[in-house]
Amino acid sequence: MSKKPAQQQPHEARSNSRLAAVQALYQMDIGSADIGDVIAEFRAARLGRTYDGETAEELNDDNPADADFFESIVRGVVEKQAELDPAIDKALASGWRLPRLDATLRATLRAGTFEIYGRSDVPPKAVINEYVGVARAFFDGDEPKVVNAVLDRLAREHLGDV
pLDDT in tens, 10-64: 778 888 999 999 999 999 999 888 899 889 988 887 675 554 443 334 444 454 7
Compute the Cα dihedral for 63, 68, 74, 76 and give only its sign. negative
pLDDT in tens, 92-148: 988 889 888 999 999 999 999 999 999 888 899 999 999 999 999 999 999 999 999
pLDDT, mean of residues 73-102? 93
Q: Are 27 and 33 in contact (CB under 8 A)?
A: yes
Query: Which domains does the chain possess?
Result: 10-159 (1.10.940.10)
pLDDT of residue 5: 39
Gap between the Cα atoms of 125 and 106, Å rounded: 19
Number of neighbours of residue 12 by Cβ within 10 angstroms: 16
Instruction: Name the more confident of 101 and 65.
Output: 101
Residue 52, phi then psi, degrees to nearest 5: -125, 95
Q: Are 48 and 59 in contact (CB under 8 A)?
A: yes
**In this model, does residue 91 exceed pLDDT 80?**
yes
**In this model, does residue 4 exceed pLDDT 50?**
no
Gap between the Cα atoms of 23 and 4, Å rounded: 33
Residue 121, phi then psi, degrees to nearest 5: -80, -5
